[in-house]
Amino acid sequence: MRIRGSWRDCHPRSGNTKSIVLFDPAVPPRLSFLVFSYSLTSLLLPLFVNCLPSRVQRFIVQRLQEELKAKPGSLPFDEILYCNIGNPQSLGQLPITFFREVLALCDHPAILDKAEAQGLFSADSIKRAWQILDQIPGRATGAYSHSQGIKGLRDTIAAGIEARDGFPANPNDLFLTDGASPAVHMMMQLLIGSEKDGLLCPIPQYPLYSASIALHGGSLVPYYLDEETGWGLEVSELKKQLKEARSKGITVKALVVINPGNPTGQVLAEENQRAIVEFCKQEGLVLLADEVYQENVYVPEKKFHSFKKVARSMGYGDNDLCLVSFQSVSKGYHGECGKRGGYMEVTGFSPEVREQIYKLASVNLCSNISGQILASLVMSPPKVGDESYESYSAEKDGILKSLARRAKTLEDAFKSLEGITCNKAEGAMYLFPRIKLPEKAIKAAEAAKTAPDLFYCRRLLNATGVVVVPGSGFGQVPGTWHFRCTILPQEDKIPAIVSRLTAFHKSFMDEYRN
Amino acid sequence: MRIRGSWRDCHPRSGNTKSIVLFDPAVPPRLSFLVFSYSLTSLLLPLFVNCLPSRVQRFIVQRLQEELKAKPGSLPFDEILYCNIGNPQSLGQLPITFFREVLALCDHPAILDKAEAQGLFSADSIKRAWQILDQIPGRATGAYSHSQGIKGLRDTIAAGIEARDGFPANPNDLFLTDGASPAVHMMMQLLIGSEKDGLLCPIPQYPLYSASIALHGGSLVPYYLDEETGWGLEVSELKKQLKEARSKGITVKALVVINPGNPTGQVLAEENQRAIVEFCKQEGLVLLADEVYQENVYVPEKKFHSFKKVARSMGYGDNDLCLVSFQSVSKGYHGECGKRGGYMEVTGFSPEVREQIYKLASVNLCSNISGQILASLVMSPPKVGDESYESYSAEKDGILKSLARRAKTLEDAFKSLEGITCNKAEGAMYLFPRIKLPEKAIKAAEAAKTAPDLFYCRRLLNATGVVVVPGSGFGQVPGTWHFRCTILPQEDKIPAIVSRLTAFHKSFMDEYRN
- Each residue of A319-331: b (16+ CB within 10 Å) or e? ebbbbbbbbbbbb
Q: What is the DSSP string of A405-418?
A: HHHHHHHHHHHTST
B-chain residue closest to A341, CA distance: B368
Minimal CA–CA distance to B293: which of B101, B425, B148?
B425
Could you tell me the pLDDT band of residue A54, with boundaries at 50, 70 and 90? low
Task: Give the Cβ contact number of residue A366 at 10 Å.
Answer: 26
CA distances from B349 to A400, B226, B308 (A): 45, 31, 14
Expressed in angstroms, the distance from the first to the final Cα of chain B is: 30
Range of lowest pLDDT (A33-37, A75-79, A175-179, B131-135)? A33-37
Min Cα–Cα distance to chain B from A104, Å: 4
pLDDT score of A430 more than 60: yes
Q: What is the pLDDT of residues A331-350, one digit of tens each?
A: 999 999 999 999 999 999 99
Could you tell me the pLDDT band of residue A4, with boundaries at 50, 70 and 90? very low
- Between A445 and B61, the more confident residue is A445
Q: Specify the pLDDT at position A44.
A: 39
With beta carbons less than 8 A apart as the criterion, state whether A464 and A500 touch: yes
Residue of B18, B23, B36 to mutate, interface with A, max A Cβ within 10 Å: B36
Residues of chain B positioned with their CB less than 8 A from the CB of A368: 178, 338-340, 368, 370-371
Half-sphere exposure of B37 (CA within 13 A, CB side): 22
To the nearest 10°, the Cα dihedral for B481, B486, B492, B496? -20
- Minimum-distance CB partner of B36 among A38, A191, A336: A191
pLDDT score of A31 more than 80: no
For residue B127, give the H/E element and its range.
Answer: helix B123-135
Pure H helices in B416-451: 439-447
Beta strands, E only, A131-231: 174-177, 197-203, 219-224
Q: What is the DSSP string of B42-53?
A: HTTGGG-TT---
- Minimum-distance CB partner of B178 among A17, A140, A368: A368
Average pLDDT estimate for A293-312 = 97
Average pLDDT estimate for A107-117 = 95
Amino acid sitting at position B113: D
**Rg, C-alpha atoms of chain A:** 24
Min Cα–Cα distance to chain B from A283, Å: 8
Half-sphere exposure of A2 (CA within 13 A, CB side): 7
Residues of chain B positioned with their CB less than 8 A from the CB of A193: 12, 17, 19, 37-40
Relative to beta strand A20-21, strand A35-36 is: antiparallel
| Coil, strand or helix at B342 | strand
Could you tell me the pLDDT band of residue A135, with boundaries at 50, 70 and 90? very high
Q: What is the pLDDT of residues A201-229, one digit of tens each?
A: 999 999 999 999 998 999 999 999 999 99
Task: Give the Cβ contact number of residue A336 at 10 Å.
Answer: 31
A-chain residue closest to B35, CA distance: A253
- Minimum-distance CB partner of A368 among B19, B191, B370: B370
- Each residue of A241-266: b (16+ CB within 10 Å) or e? bbeebeeeebbbbbbbbbbbbbbbbb
pLDDT score of A2 more than 50: no
Average pLDDT estimate for A390-396 = 98
To the nearest 10°, the Cα dihedral for A203, A208, A212, A215? 100
B-chain residue closest to A17, CA distance: B193
- Minimum-distance CB partner of B319 among A27, A103, A143: A27
With beta carbons less than 8 A apart as the criterion, state whether A361 and A325 touch: no
pLDDT score of A48 more than 90: no
Residues of chain A positioned with their CB less than 8 A from the CB of B33: 284
Tens-digit pLDDT string for chain B (514 aa): 222 222 222 222 222 222 222 222 233 322 323 334 333 333 333 333 334 446 677 788 889 999 999 999 999 999 999 999 899 999 999 999 999 999 999 999 999 999 999 999 999 999 999 999 999 999 999 999 999 999 999 999 999 999 999 999 999 999 999 999 999 999 999 999 999 999 999 999 999 999 999 989 999 999 999 999 999 999 999 999 999 999 999 999 999 999 999 999 999 999 999 999 999 999 999 999 999 999 999 999 999 999 999 999 999 999 999 999 999 999 999 999 999 999 999 999 999 898 899 989 998 899 999 999 999 999 999 999 999 999 999 999 999 999 999 999 999 999 999 999 999 999 999 999 999 999 999 999 999 999 999 999 999 999 999 999 999 999 999 999 999 999 999 999 999 999 999 999 999 999 998 7
Pure H helices in B314-386: 351-362, 369-378
Please state the φ and ψ torsions of residue A363, each to the nearest 5 degrees: -60, -35
- Each residue of A126-159: b (16+ CB within 10 Å) or e? bebbbebbebbeeebbbbbbbbbbbebbbbbbbe
B-chain residue closest to A12, CA distance: B193
Amino acid sitting at position A464: T
Min Cα–Cα distance to chain A from B145, Å: 7
Minimal CA–CA distance to A436: which of A475, A493, A382, A482?
A482
The torsion region of residue B92 among left (phi > 0), alpha (psi -120 to 50) and beta comes to left
**Rg, C-alpha atoms of chain B:** 24
- B28 CB-near residues (< 8 Å, 6+ apart): none
Could you tell me the pLDDT band of residue A55, with boundaries at 50, 70 and 90? low
A-chain residue closest to B184, CA distance: A364
Minimal CA–CA distance to B305: which of B456, B138, B166?
B166
pLDDT score of A39 more than 90: no
Inter-chain residue contact B339 with A12, CB threshold 8 Å? no
Q: Specify the pLDDT at position A59.
A: 82
CA distance B425 to B403: 10
CA distance A480 to A325: 31
- Minimum-distance CB partner of B369 among A52, A114, A338: A338
For residue B483, give the H/E element and its range.
Answer: strand B481-486
Handedness of CA A157, A160, A164, A165 (dihedral sign): positive
pLDDT score of A22 more than 80: no
| Coil, strand or helix at A384 | coil
- Minimum-distance CB partner of B368 among A40, A185, A340: A340
Residues of chain A positioned with their CB less than 8 A from the CB of B45: 359
Q: What is the mean pLDDT of chain A?
A: 89
Cα B328 from chain centroid (whole Å): 9
- B267 CB-near residues (< 8 Å, 6+ apart): B259, B260, B261, B297, B299, B302, B303, B304, B426, B427
With beta carbons less than 8 A apart as the criterion, state whether B289 and B255 touch: no
CA distance A380 to A374: 10
CA distance A497 to A84: 13
For residue A306, give the H/E element and its range.
Answer: none
| Coil, strand or helix at B470 | strand
Handedness of CA A385, A388, A390, A396 (dihedral sign): negative
Residues of chain B positioned with their CB less than 8 A from the CB of A338: 140-145, 366, 368-369
Q: What is the pLDDT of residues A186-199, one digit of tens each?
A: 999 999 999 999 99
Q: Specify the pLDDT at position A77.
A: 94
Minimal CA–CA distance to B215: which of B463, B24, B42, B413?
B42
CA distance A244 to A250: 9
Q: What is the DSSP string of B38-78?
A: -HHHHTTGGG-TT----HHHHHHHHHHHHHHHHSTTSSS-S
Q: What is the DSSP string of B177-226?
A: ESSHHHHHHHHHHHH-SSTTEEEEEEES--THHHHHHHHHT-EEEEEE-B
Min Cα–Cα distance to chain B from A499, Å: 25
Residues of chain B positioned with their CB less than 8 A from the CB of A145: 338
- Each residue of B313-342: b (16+ CB within 10 Å) or e? beebebebbbbbbbbbbbbbbbbbbbbbbb
User: Partners of A224 in the beta sheet?
Assistant: A203
